Structure 1
Amino acid sequence: MKVGIIGGGAIGLLTAAYLQPHYEVTIYTRRREQADLLNKQKLRLCKQGKEQTISVHAVPFGQEEIKADVLFITVKQYDLAHVLARLKDVPFAATLVFLQNGMGHLRLLTEWEERNIVLGVVEHGALKRDDRTVEHTGVGKMTLSLFQGRLGQAEQLLNRDIFDFPMEYTEDWHTMLTNKLVVNAVINPLTAVLRVRNGELLRVHEYKEMMELLFAEVREALALLDGEAAWQRIVSICAKTAHNRSSMLSDLERGRKTEIEAILGYVIGAGKERGISTPLCQFLFYAVKGMEQNE
């Protein structure tokens, strides 16, 4: 089976590292320099103090026709519209797997009514060290859910047991995305503004109070049915990733744009639709947007 991965960030490289031994994988990068480096020096996976190199095929996105049975789109939310505009020639039978944070990308998929589309959530900890190196900082799972069409050859992925890279399936894509959105909406903005690792939100009493206040607002804006389960999920993930920097904090530290619009922006919009005020979400939204300008 041919697997394509659009995006040479942490999740794209991590997915390629684990799938390459089992499938024919091609990584489509934004820059030619990264593609050349991956082809010449191979992909390097770091985990628990050990390293391994993996041969991969990489090409700059748009420079080669995509011939994939399953195509993972791992770019950030804000790059997705640009990528979708250039995917019209992907084989019709291919299954497109979207691995974005937040839920803002759902509106972009309305133009792809007849395509096989799968939505995914990644709970692994991954850190891109350089253009060819990804560190697997925490083993989690990838959950997939059919959005429309059929799974196609993506079903093979769910039937293969890959050590330290499990994949699961759920029928309810909306709950899957909402659960991840709530976690991201609480942990990411706070760690970004406070400049702390995830675990500090639980360790410092005042930070945990901030978490609880923010969660209460997110819960109301999204009309969550089981608030206690959602809160326990946040606490559990925060504890499991205690030593990790959130993706939003990492983006700010590296002078990159964050996904605050796809995460808190979505929550704020949902609140407006329900007539719910979200002052804390708006405060953090503008704080992170301002920090993007100053990095």
Structure 2
Amino acid sequence: MRIGIIGGGAVGLLLAAYSYKAGYSVTILTRTIKQAEDINMKGITLFKEEEMVHYPIQAYLFSDSSSGNYDLIFIAVKQSILPFVVSEILKNNQSPPPLVFLQNGMSHLSLLEQTIIDDILVGVLDHGALRISGTEVIHTGKGTLRIGQVKGTKDFQMIWNTLSANGFTSEKIRDWLFVMKKKLVVNALINPLTAIYKVKNGELIEQDSLLTEMKELYTEVIDVLQFTESKGLWEYVLEVCQKTSQNKSSMLQDIENNKQTEIDAILGYLLEQGRGLPVKTSKIETLYQTIKKLERNEEKM
């Protein structure tokens, strides 16, 4: 089984390491030639608890590569460049391989529905990952990769079983849309607030003012997503904050590193969904605009 992974961020490196450990032929397709060269020279180093393991994984520059030589491709890039990635795959392949999309947010679902590819899957990732260099990644927290089938009928259960047997718990789910909505609630509450106030996840529940603001945002988010049954959802968000209390959200890391965030895929998606609905979105709008200003360096916090 030949697996391609587009994206050399934390998720891409983590998935590549465990896929190689599971016995698959793995190739990472990177954005920069430097990262590809570094991976080819050093491989990928996975840190987990007290363990450190090196995996000799191949890498190529995505823009120079064809995706036709793989049985399955995981796409672990940000929402903003998904249209380019998908267009390149379609341009270079008459019969593209099955694709698994691993993005935060839900704005990419409309793109996937319009894409002419036989097998499309989405993944909701709860595993914690921290990239410390272009070739090194820490598995910061064991979770589950939940896979939903958006299009197609091909069975990839063997892959999920093998990944799970090698320490990267993965499972196919039927209610993937509900799971994506649940993950979106978590991302919508934690990411923007931690990025704006420059705090770790746990501080959202330790500071009363931040907890109150998160609760106000929660009310708007679940109204937009039209959760008919939200019992236990707020408690789940608090649990995530507690379990990841020492983590910096990906959005906070992006702001600190002067990178574009995924705010459009998260709060931007919610604003789009809220248009035309009899719901309040003022808090969502305020946080969205604040993050956009931070991205443009127009506002110093």
Q: Using structure 2 for the length normalisation, give the TM-score.
A: 0.94
Query: What is the CA deviation profile of residues 197-252 of structure 1, one whole-angstrom value per residue up to 9, with x for unaligned ones?
Result: 10111111221111111101111111112223221221121111111101100111
Check 1:44–1:288 CA distance in 2 against 1; reply closer, same or farther (3 A cut).
same
Size of the aligned set, in residue pairs, is: 294
3-state SS of the aligned residue for 2:140? strand
Structure 2 counterpart of 1:11? 11
Q: 2:265 aligns with which of 259, 262, 279?
A: 262
3-state SS of the aligned residue for 1:87? helix
Structure 2 counterpart of 1:54? 55
Structure 2 counterpart of 1:43? 44
* Partner Cα distance (2:285, 2:291) in 1: 10
Query: What is the CA deviation profile of residues 231-283 of structure 1, one whole-angstrom value per residue up to 9, with x for unaligned ones?
Result: 12211211111111011001111110000000001111111131322011011
Structure 2 counterpart of 1:178? 181
Whichever residue aligns with residue 45 of structure 1, its letter is L
Q: Is the 8 A contact 2:98 2:117 kept in 1?
A: no
Q: Is the 8 A contact 2:26 2:58 kept in 1?
A: yes
Q: 1:203 aligns with which of 182, 201, 206?
A: 206
Whichever residue aligns with residue 149 of structure 1, its letter is G
Superposition map of 1:157-168 within 5 A: 157-160=159-162, 161-168=164-171
Structure 2 counterpart of 1:229? 232
Structure 2 counterpart of 1:75? 77
- Structure 1 residue 23, shift from structure 2 partner: 0.3
List gaps (5 residues or longer) in structure 2.
Answer: none
Superposition map of 1:1-295 within 5 A: 1-21=1-21, 22-66=23-67, 67-88=69-90, 89-90=92-93, 92=95, 94-152=97-155, 154-160=156-162, 161-294=164-297
3-state SS of the aligned residue for 1:62? helix
List gaps (5 residues or longer) in structure 1.
Answer: none
- Structure 1 residue 62, shift from structure 2 partner: 2.6
- Structure 1 residue 45, shift from structure 2 partner: 1.2
Query: What is the CA deviation profile of residues 138-163 of structure 1, one whole-angstrom value per residue up to 9, with x for unaligned ones?
Result: 111100010011234x3221222334
* Partner Cα distance (1:113, 1:87) in 2: 11
User: Considering only aligned residues, what root-mean-square deviation do their CA atoms show, in Å?
Assistant: 1.5
More displaced stretch, 30-39 vs 217-226: 217-226
Identity of paired residues, percent?
38
* Partner Cα distance (1:218, 1:59) in 2: 40
Task: Name segments (4+ residues, structure 1) moved above 6 Å.
Answer: none
* Partner Cα distance (1:5, 1:33) in 2: 17
- Structure 1 residue 93, shift from structure 2 partner: 6.5
Q: Is the 8 A contact 2:191 2:249 kept in 1?
A: yes
* Partner Cα distance (1:175, 1:283) in 2: 26
Q: Is the 8 A contact 1:118 1:151 kept in 2?
A: no
* Partner Cα distance (1:103, 1:178) in 2: 8
Q: Using structure 1 for the length normalisation, give the TM-score.
A: 0.95
3-state SS of the aligned residue for 2:149? strand
- Structure 1 residue 114, shift from structure 2 partner: 4.4
